Amino acid sequence: MDMQKIGKFLAELRKGNNLTQDELGERLGVTNKTVSRWENGNYLPPVEMLQLLSRLYDVSINELLSGARLNDERYKEKAEEYIAVDLMKKSKAAKKRLIISIIVACMTILAGTAIILLPALLSAPIWLRIICIALSAVIIVLGISVCCVLTIDAGVYECPNCGEKFVPSMKDFIFGAHTFTKRKLRCPKCRKKSYCKKRLN
């Protein structure tokens, strides 16, 4: 996306509608400084503002993001480009969450085992060992919950029987036996329970 071009186009559209930066800001509920930042190409207006601008100026959001009015053919091209960019962003975010959850999982396992093992190695009194075991149980449960929340919406699972892609329920997800890339889940389409492979998009 060419921010400068978008900004210039926004300024052109505003002038074409005989609005000052102040007047436009007032209509949209933002300051004239914000409008000026958009038009200088410093910031991209947020989605809800793009929607308002597109209605106000009678252009599509696609055209706003392209920084020009588009004919039918170019329009289609650009639409596909933005959908592709959006998909890529989502897939990247999903991968990031997956990596974070793997790190959290490793740290959880390490912390849990360290707390159980240390007092035993140091021949600590029984009460201290019990506290450590309880503590490590809490750490493990917390760590697993964080991982579940992080990974449940990171991508979908694919049924090996019918190829259906689906997002499992939280309950199935938590209690399903799993490896790093597969999880035992019931397919909502063919109802068969099997190891489904994780797909990031």
Binding site for Zn ion (CB under 5 A): 159, 161-162, 164, 187, 189-190
Alpha helices in 46-176 (DSSP H): 47-57, 61-66, 72-121, 126-152, 170-175
Burial class of residue 151 in the structure, from the number of CB atoms within 10 Å of its CB (0-12 exposed, 13-18 middle, 19+ buried): buried
50 or 159: CB nearest Zn ion: 159
**Minimum distance from residue 165 beta carbon to Zn ion (Å):** 10
Closest contact distance (angstroms) between CB of 153 and Zn ion is: 20
User: Min. distance of Cβ 194 from Zn ion in angstroms?
Assistant: 8
CB distance 98 to 126 below 8 Å: no
Q: Provide the minimum distance between the beta carbon of 9 and Zn ion in the complex, in angstroms, as a whole number.
A: 48
Closer to Zn ion by CB, 5 or 192: give it: 192
What's the closest the beta carbon of residue 154 comes to Zn ion, in angstroms?
A: 21
| Residue 100 CB neighbours (<10 A) | 15
CA 180 to chain CA mean position, Å: 20
Could you give the CA distance from residue 17 to residue 201 in angstroms, rounded to a whole number? 42
- When the beta carbons of 95 and 197 are compared against Zn ion, the nearer one is 197
Nearer Cβ to Zn ion, position 24 or 159?
159
**Which residue number, 147 or 187, has a Cβ lying nearer to Zn ion?**
187
- What are the distances in angstroms from CA 32 to CA 14, 19, 45, 48, 129? 12, 11, 13, 17, 63
> What's the CA gap between 131 and 181, in Å, rounded?
34
When the beta carbons of 37 and 186 are compared against Zn ion, the nearer one is 186
Phi first, then psi: give them for residue 166, nearest 5 degrees.
Answer: -150, 160
The nearest distance, CB 122 to Zn ion, in angstroms, is 52
